[in-house]
Chain A
Amino acid sequence: MNLLKTTLTATLCLFTILATAQKYKDYEFPEEVPVYDTSLKQYEEAVIEYYYSLEFKIDENSEVLYNFNMYTTLVNSDDAIEANNKMYLSANNSDYLFQKARVINTDGSIKVLDQDDIKEGTYENEEGNEIKYYYYALEGLERGSIVQQATYQMKRPSYYGDKVYLQGNEFRLKQEFELIAPYHLYFDFKTLNGDFEIQKDTNETEVNRWFVEIDSTEKMKDQSGFYPNVVKQAVLYKLDRNTAQNRSDITTYSNAAPFMHKSVNPELTKKQEKALNKMLKEMDIDDKSELEQIYAIESYVKDNFQIVDNNADQLSDLDFILENNACGPTGVTMLIESLLGLKDIENQLVITTKRSELRFDPEFEAYLFLDKYLIYFPDHELFIAPTNQFGRKKYIPMTWSDNYGLFIRTITVGDISTVVGEIKYIAPLTSADNYDKMTIDVDFSKSITDAKVEITKEMMGYTAKFLQPFYHLMDEEAIGNLKSEITYMVHEDVKSDDVEFTNTESEDYGVNPLVMHFTTTDHPFVEQAGEDYLFKIGELIGPQAEMYQESERQFPIEADNNRSYIRTITFKAPEGYTVKNIEKLNFVKGDGDRENATMYFESKVTEKDGVYTVYCEEFYDKIKVPLDEYEVYAEVINAAADFNKIVLILEKQ
């Protein structure tokens, strides 16, 4: 969601432009049936041709964007049929001018989609948003059929930056992208993840046309550990010049920054100022340090205002916000900025993206990257995320860091203030900020197979994100269910009836680790082999991710965040038994020694007075792992999984 509402377009058309005809208005499927190479039959589903066109037009003083896309797909399997015989088109942000489809069967017969068969309805998605869809079923599909669909939509023009994907879950033989604009508008492009260049069509003189043809794009493999939208082949575009007005560098952050700054730093009315000062008084923070004041303001707003993911005008109106305790992303940022302003706390507005969906590009300035708000405090080197209801302090959403962003600040020289924007890097939190620490003791004194296992698990920061911010909202029944099921985190066959949690208040998140503690004698950690016992010590640490069977990686790894895992296991051999293969617990893997590694796993065991202490440390301070480092990464991941398999023999003396 682009935060910058495109009110800047008003300056675009001062001239009456000679309107040229819309290129695809009267599009009909060609008479000839598509021909394709038989080698395509090796694919269950192959796109013979994909065509994506954007046409910016200025018609009678209004500005419109026409989007035409067409694809021709060969379906060769039942799965491909199932994937193509039902079509859903989301209709929230565009008007459909036409939707045409046809099925060409192996006997040459053609079934054309009847327009009356296109249904309309709304669907509520997981986030509770209602999305309008047009949908239909395609008749007559069989193995070997070709499906052709052509969609023509009218949208609000996106001059200031957008992204078009040119890769998907099926092999694409030929793709073509084009962008057409009136002769006085010049766009700029950047291609991503592919070996292709956008060219200008020198044959076109009435309009500006840019295009590219791409051959043989491989399909996205079904692998894990990366974000598909980030690695897909794509094109970025934006409006750069308007020769009719002699303007260039139109889409730049230096143009956007003042506007963005103003939208969250309005002039307060007397009434608003009074209300905000009252809130500050309630917080009672006058004698606190600046950092504590920042934390208090953030907590107060997030505890008392509901942040709705909607940028409706009302939700950005401070009066409405104060009256109704509800706000949108711009609204809450404005509220916090205003409170910080009243306390004179220096800060910078930072705008970035969620890198799991769209990486902020440090070279290509475009407004689609202005999506998520952060506030940066240079004196404290601290980022907070005003819009994240349950996040606190430096624990901003994971995928907003290890990313670039636009840092906006005010420079004041004498009486003159200027707002400037600068692209800078948002560093992620380290593995020390996000740890999972387990302290485990195993007591064989009363029983070997039913040894008493005591586990304390401390989860700090993002590691506790799934539970700590919400715990205080859970009712008794939910907590009961949680306690009876949470031992799953250690082993699915572990049962305990004394599970306890500490540091469960809302202020604890980001400050204190969430602590879970329980004891159990009902577990599968000890096996019997005649007189001897097998102690499955590795399983005490819980299930581990593993990458034993990975096929060749198509894309590099990208994780959510840096994290660390520390395990300390203590036990004494049962009376009359010796631990035979304890040295198995000494091993290390990583891309360097402990002080210098970015990916590391070490296990070591020591013994004193008959008590064994196993100390295991694992950390990842690398979010993006390039392909040539993948092997080391897998080795470290698998080291933890290897530890998980370790079985100690308790041999009868």
Chain B
Amino acid sequence: MVRNTQIYKSSLSLGLSLILSFVALAQIPNDYGYLDYKEKLPKEAFVQIELVSEDVFDIGKDGLDFYYQFSHKILCLNKRAIGLKKRSVGYDEFFPITDIDATLYYPVKGKYKKEKVKDFIDQAVIKNEISFYDNYREKQFKYENIREGAVVELNVRRKVTDEHLLSSRTFSRDLFIEKEVYRARVHKDIDMGFFEYNMDSSDVVKRVYEDGDYKIYEWRLDKAEIKTIYGQDKYEDHFVPQVVPYLRSVKNEDGEKEYFKDLDGLYNWYSSLISQVNTEKDSSIKALAASITDGIDEETEKVKAVYEWVQSNIKYIAFGDGYGGFIPRDPDVIYDRKFGDCKDMSCLTVNLLASLGIESHFTWVGTNSIALNYTDVPSPAVDNHMIVTYYDDKGKLYYMDATDPNLKFGRPAYSIQGREVLIALDESNFRLDTAEIIPAEVNLAYEKIDLELDGNTLKGVGENWYCGYFAEDLHANHEGISDQDAKDEFVNGVLAKGSNKFQVGDYEYKWDEESKDTIKLKYDFSIEDYVNRVDDKVYVNLNLSEELNQLKIREKQNTPYFMDYKHTVENIFELDLQEGYVIDYVPEDVKSSTDLLEYEITYQKSEHHITYHLTLKVKAIRIERDRIKDWNDQVDELISELNRTIKLISK
């Protein structure tokens, strides 16, 4: 029976819209260019006729008056128009909607009719995201008579309630763009910064000019063809063209109020947020810290104990409403609830340590899905996460991210490798550092197996070591399974090699709780029908690892490729031939090394043994566009080596 491959489900993900419009069509006039666009873009569903995004940074009689005005017009070129019928515009306390209107122009019997949307339903909405609860709401409405040829028009005005938190503007090229403008209108007494990135070869044209009391910054994209991006969605920040506005300072009667002129400005604001935590060390926190570290003398060991306690006893539930996304809850509240988000866990950790007289630091960081650095732009747009750092007496820096229950004490999560970290030292001082990129040797998957032939079955006794991020990932998955049968199946899947007749016998899974860095798996296994025999000839392929076939990056990729972490794979398989066989053919050794990838396969023969040794090292966590072909070529060579089989003659 054919296995249900992903293809069966992915037919819907291949850009398919199953929503059909069945309204009878008459001639659609060219008032909005329908006929011209149909000719120019016969396979396209929508055209962006106009998109104007205007950010106004003004000063009113009550102080700063920031608001956003957005308007777009989209023309529907085919039946997929029906997909735009149900619409919604989201908002929260920081960007509340003050005005919204929507209009539909639709063709009926050769003429366009106008329909203004009357009903907007305001709804609290649950999104499938990190926040368990935040104040996210939507204005929901419908374009009742939408059809092919229709034009939808939407205008939204929002207030910006906190001048520290501003939205970035991106320029996507999913649709043909007739006209797109991002405009910032800045009052002359306001000093705004605009950090631009990924803008080379974006076709965006910039213009800056004065208009009375305002300075206008304008970025335009006109008559822009579609540019499809093939990349990992998670990392799109690294390649989509963007402008990041940030408030530097505002002139006032006393001279100037500084905001994010530089990193000091950003840090001052962050510092003011964390200082709002009520850290009166009530007895529950003090008592908890004491009980966690009871019997431990060495300071670093105490820090480790506290960190690991928070890791295992506080669960992740994020309440992001209001400033809940920015100001940690009080430590005693977090302890009482037994849950919190990254800031809460950091706050509890810092306060537990403080009650023991140990200094540790709130630390802000952006994960690798964010391309910006603090050194690029002093803005909250750079970070999305908070952890704790600690310096021991030798000045060594330890990272503590309690949101990951399996992350080793001191090690940064792999999503922040190479990212800048902003470390709070005191109320006004901070330090900027960069999280290390863990070397490939640390993240090791090592397999040492003794093999023997039993008829057509390949049998083995193995001892595997998984270290570093490998261990953490594997353990997280292992722990996430409660059913013992399912756990066995999972382990079987992890160890699987050769063919899917691989069957684990007994196994022993050991996670080193102390170091949180290693998993040792001892096991025996058999793979039936793996060995091919004919007459006196025996064929067995010792390239057992199945993952090696999956290293290739799809050809379409036109953006940099990101790896989770550098890593090493090492396989040492020793085939014991005993007295029964003569070695007829063993593949040649191969070796290949570049700055991206290194691999070597060797075969050592002795009278009764063949030792297969594979090492593979992934040396890059980011492969630039122009190197993807090099990577794929090297991987292709490796894959062709994997097809080589040993030939023995049985005596």
Contacts and interface: CB of A to CB of B under 8 A. Distances in A.
A141 interface: yes
B2 A544 contact: yes
Interface in B470-509: 479-480, 482-483, 485-486, 488-489, 492, 499-501, 503
Contact of B123 (A44, A122, A581): A122
B1 interface: yes
Interface string A638-653: 0011100101010100
A140 B126 contact: no
A473 B405 contact: no
Interface residues of A, number: 86
The contact size tier of chain B is 35 or more
Nearest to B319: A137
A493 B640 CA distance: 11
A380 to B, nearest CB: 28
B21 interface: yes
B317 A137 contact: yes
A305 interface: yes
Contacts of A542: 2-3
Contact of A466 (B3, B8, B485): B8
Nearest to A560: B4
Contacts of A303: 22
Contacts of B126: 121-123, 133, 135
A287 interface: no
A486 B492 contact: no
A81 B314 CA distance: 10
A449 interface: yes
A549 to B, nearest CB: 6
B298 interface: no
Contact of A545 (B3, B10, B21): B3
Contacts of B125: 121-124
Interface stretch (A5-13, A246-254, A256-264, A521-529): A521-529
Contacts of B315: 78, 81-82, 85, 141
Interface string A540-556: 00111110110100000
B15 A580 contact: no
A29 B312 CA distance: 30
Given A78-B312, A529-B585, A531-B585, A139 B485 contact: no
A476 B43 contact: yes
Interface stretch (B250-258, B336-344, B408-416): B336-344
A400 interface: no
B11 A467 contact: yes
Contacts of A493: 549, 639
Nearest to A649: B534
Interface stretch (B55-63, B175-183, B535-543): B535-543
Interface stretch (B104-112, B203-211, B607-615, B643-651): B643-651
B17 A489 contact: no
A548 B585 contact: no
B492 A549 contact: yes
A60 interface: no
Given A78-B405, A551-B485, A649-B532, A140 B338 contact: yes
Interface string B14-42: 11111111111000000000000000000
Given A85-B317, A222-B483, A649-B537, A549 B489 contact: yes
A559 to B, nearest CB: 9
A529 B539 contact: yes
A543 B5 contact: yes
DSSP class of A's interface residues: helix, strand, loop or mixed? mixed
B124 interface: yes
A529 B646 contact: yes
A253 B643 CA distance: 65
A79 B479 contact: yes
B549 A474 contact: no
B527 to A, nearest CB: 10
Contact of B313 (A142, A481, A485, A489): A142
A45 B22 CA distance: 51
A253 B210 CA distance: 79
Interface string A497-535: 000000000000000000000000000101111111010
B2 A436 contact: yes
A488 B317 CA distance: 39
B301 to A, nearest CB: 24
Nearest to B585: A530
A527 B587 CA distance: 11
B22 A305 contact: yes
A326 B1 contact: no
A344 interface: no
B22 A78 contact: no
Given A79-B480, A140-B336, A141-B338, A529 B317 contact: no
A278 interface: no
B126 to A, nearest CB: 4
A221 interface: yes
13 contacts: A78-B479, A82-B315, A86-B132, A137-B133, A141-B315, A484-B556, A492-B550, A526-B643, A544-B1, A580-B534, A641-B500, A645-B501, A645-B530
Given A141-B338, A306-B19, A324-B23, 8 more contacts: A121-B126, A124-B125, A133-B126, A135-B126, A527-B644, A545-B4, A637-B1, A645-B501
